[in-house]
Amino acid sequence: MTEKHIVLEDIDPVMFYGVGNGHLQMLKALFPKLRIVARDNVIRVLGDEVQMAAFEESVEKMRQHVLKFNSLTEEDILDITKGRRTSDDVPDDVVCYSISGRAIKARSANQQQLIDAYQENDMVFAVGPAGTGKTYLSIALAVRALKEKTAKKIILSRPAVEAGEKLGFLPGDMKDKIDPYLQPLYDALEDMLPQVKLQDMMEKHQIQIAPLAFMRGRTLSDAVVILDEAQNTTPAQIRMFLTRMGWNTKMIITGDTSQIDLPPKAKSGLIEALHILGGIEGIGIVNLTQKDIVRHKLVTRIVNAYDNYDKAYKSNESINQD
């Protein structure tokens, strides 16, 4: 009698085994000559050597399916084990899949331009108003790179600049005070990676999330590095960040120049960087607009209303000065 141990690497075993171990019970029924016992991410199999080879091949195909699509159904299991699945390729227009199995892809021409710019350049600036998907899509590209092993880690950063609130008034230690600023990055990751897998990757430092100040002195290699809310960096901060770039690294810098939370007379590092670095080979600049907003339809109306208000305010201010 043959015995083998199969390790489910890089995926959440809970998703593989199914709710109430439903998928595991299905596999036991499909391979009746085998004794299958699962614990954590290890499957112990005893029994017929021929059927075990077929089981091992099916499990690997199922693992690859979960890795690509973040989902596994009974129909998928049947197709794979019965040899009905001839192709399991991700469509060209899909970046990756959410944990609910939803395809994450460009939903506008400018979002597609962001994906193309990432493929063609080592550094990309994605600039646009709230809701245009610049951060979410950037993180999706980073997650894909990690899954495809074209990068060894993801590094996500934000400047901890107060938007009307004060750090000192937040409860807890420094990590507790900083985490609210990084929450949008956690939210996007949690939508793309199962909680158990995300926690494991963070513990192994395959995914790192830190305030911009923590980047000083580092050289970031073999990584996809994302700086979010870059409009709130000073010229010195963004210069420090951009020069952290190491070998086999891609950087994505996102920001919204209409939402600068720096002190009134402070200069935005993002605006200066766009002016200085425009046209340099290897650097892509993508401008997203209100037409690219993919949140609730009211977000587009709110952004337009505030833009109109700002224009009217500046116009009146100019008239009063004259």
pLDDT digits (tens, 9 = 90+) for 62-76: 998 998 888 899 999
Question: What span, in angstroms and rounded, lies between the C-alpha atoms of 239 and 270?
Answer: 9
Question: What span, in angstroms and rounded, lies between the C-alpha atoms of 252 and 39?
Answer: 39
Whose structure tokens read 């005070």? 177
Q: Taking Cα atoms as reference points, which of 93, 98, 112 lies closest to residue 292? A: 112
Question: What span, in angstroms and rounded, lies between the C-alpha atoms of 315 and 88?
Answer: 57
User: Are 184 and 157 in contact, with CB atoms under 8 Å apart?
Assistant: no
Residue pLDDT, tens place only, 283-321: 999 999 988 887 667 877 887 888 888 878 766 765 565
pLDDT computed for residue 170 by the predictor: 47
Q: What is the three-class DSSP state of 34?
A: strand
Question: What span, in angstroms and rounded, lies between the C-alpha atoms of 2 and 55?
Answer: 13
Cα distances from 307 to residues 54, 61, 258, 300, in angstroms, run 61, 51, 8, 11
Residue pLDDT, tens place only, 201-259: 999 999 998 888 888 888 899 999 999 999 999 999 999 999 999 999 999 999 999 88
Q: Which one-letter DSSP state was computed for residue 167?
A: G
Reported pTM: 0.79
User: Are 178 and 130 in contact, with CB atoms under 8 Å apart?
Assistant: no
